[in-house]
Chains A and B, each alone.
Chain A
């Protein structure tokens, strides 16, 4: 199965490109989830949970999700998970948008985000 990461985390692009194909986009957390939903409709399946980590969707700006090619077949379980994840993220963002964090804090969020998938990517 061809696997790759959909991410808006520049640190993932920088550090993990030698292990796995990285599709990097300079878009929001929510838009990453929506991009993954598009992929699921096109026959890809989720390999990691979209709401990985306990950081809230209106707290961290970064999200990295590993998906795999599912022979162009729609994986219903992936679709259910990504849809409810989008719903959850929208619920948080509706109450309060992600703050404009300073550079140092953004770096910390990048480090947490990569730590959620780094070991996995190296073992895949």
Chain B
């Protein structure tokens, strides 16, 4: 499977009379976009705002971040099984509006989280402060239940990203990058002397505001399976996970998975990246046993020498992570796990809810309990009220002067467990 990603660098976003890309500027026809998103009868009103790097703007509560993409050549369309037919994606050419994103906000539940500051100290902790963001502010119709509200906001973001992505269809990319995965046998024959490595991608799959979809299927209902890495780049996996802002994988993360990117970078040179094993993180312990058995079985069947395992979210996924790690290690396959930490505000406590001596190679994305003080911003997009009721905040965390004192866990992507951030710790 071979995919060309045509990257169109976006350096600014503006409202205009026509949605188009010209000289690196994304112009958005606001009315047209609002009309498209307002088709959903569960939404009472929709507004679109722009947020650019360096502005004194706070976006909250953030539900999802999505990169606009469009299929230019090859089967299927973006977000298969959700917005496009369920064709297998990941081949041909896909164009990307690099440097732009759709951000969804919505007060689905009273307690909330997910802050993106476009400037100030908070901006350093979220990769999305560096993007030209098209922000959707969605208000539900009266009495809409939380489940339907979440679905409406999720679909609104995907639709907006697809709509904006289509503006990239006939634009000449600034850069074209090619990613190719051969079949397992071909790959092993081509690189007989390189260690074979697979990536075990754990998907959050527990319930309301905790879900992920694979080709439109709720990940709770999958058994572990094998995917080509380029399928991710066409939106085969999308996020419905709105809880634990710092370490949830947004759709943007799935599209731009840095572990996939880095493995491709070393592919054919230092290692042979043979594919992605996707698995879930269910609440039922028998599901955890089954899924970790299957991920170990698939790793063994692929005959890999090593795997990288990433988890998503807080608490019980630590158990899935350790089950995956230990069962794969016991097959004689080396593992590296990627996680973040809840080590207490002083950083002195046990970081994970589960552990094992076999988990002896760990990459951490930082301590989510660390406290940060965020200055007031001139403008807040979304809902400011949840500031007091935000994960990692506490009573009075929204001060009268507009400053917020919170744990890093309130900031979208701050300790992302794919490593899509700057935080880490090293031990020797």
Contacts and interface: CB of A to CB of B under 8 A. Distances in A.
A49 interface: yes
Contacts of A46: 285
Interface string A80-112: 010011011001101110011110110011011
Chain B interface residue bracket vs A? 35 or more
Residue picked from A49, A52, A54, A102, most chain B C-beta under 10 Å: A54
B347 to A, nearest CB: 11
Contacts of B210: 53-54, 112, 115-116
B42 to A, nearest CB: 17
Contact of B315 (A51, A95, A96): A51
B207 A116 contact: yes
A96 B243 CA distance: 19
A28 interface: no
B35 interface: no
B133 to A, nearest CB: 24
Residue picked from A46, A102, A116, most chain B C-beta under 10 Å: A116
B76 interface: no
B146 interface: yes
B314 A47 contact: no
Contact of B206 (A52, A66, A95): A52
A117 interface: yes
Interface in B319-354: 319, 342, 344-345, 349-350, 353-354
Interface in A39-74: 46-57, 59, 66
Given A52-B316, A56-B391, A112 B244 contact: no
A99 B342 contact: no
A105 B109 contact: yes
Chain A interface residue bracket vs B? 35 or more
Contacts of B354: 81, 84
Nearest to B110: A105
Contacts, number: 124
Contacts of A91: 342, 344, 349-350
A93 to B, nearest CB: 11
A111 B319 contact: no
A92 B315 CA distance: 11
B318 to A, nearest CB: 8
B315 A88 contact: yes
Interface string B386-428: 0001011011000000000000010000000000000000000
Nearest to A94: B344
Contacts of A119: 207, 220
A117 B389 contact: no
Given A48-B283, A52-B283, A101-B111, A95 B369 contact: yes
Contacts of A56: 244, 314-315, 342, 391-392, 409
Contacts of A112: 109, 146, 207-210, 243
Nearest to B288: A49
B286 interface: yes
A109 B109 CA distance: 8
A99 B109 contact: no
Residue picked from B220, B345, B354, most chain A C-beta under 10 Å: B354
Contacts of A49: 283, 285, 288, 315-316, 319
Given A54-B315, A55-B243, A116-B207, A105 B285 contact: no
Residue picked from A59, A87, A92, most chain B C-beta under 10 Å: A59
A52 to B, nearest CB: 4
Nearest to A55: B243
Contacts of A120: 283-284
Contacts of B147: 115
22 contacts: A46-B285, A48-B285, A49-B285, A50-B316, A54-B204, A54-B210, A54-B313, A54-B314, A54-B315, A55-B244, A87-B350, A88-B315, A95-B344, A99-B394, A105-B389, A108-B110, A108-B111, A112-B208, A116-B283, A119-B207, A119-B220, A120-B283
Interface of B: 109-111, 146-147, 204, 206-210, 220, 241, 243-244, 248, 283-286, 288, 313-319, 342, 344-345, 349-350, 353-354, 369, 389, 391-392, 394-395, 409
Interface of A: 46-57, 59, 66, 81, 84-85, 87-88, 91-92, 94-96, 99-102, 104-105, 108-109, 111-112, 115-120
Given A54-B243, A54-B244, A99-B394, 14 more contacts: A51-B316, A51-B318, A53-B316, A54-B206, A56-B315, A56-B342, A57-B315, A84-B354, A85-B315, A101-B110, A105-B109, A111-B109, A115-B210, A117-B207
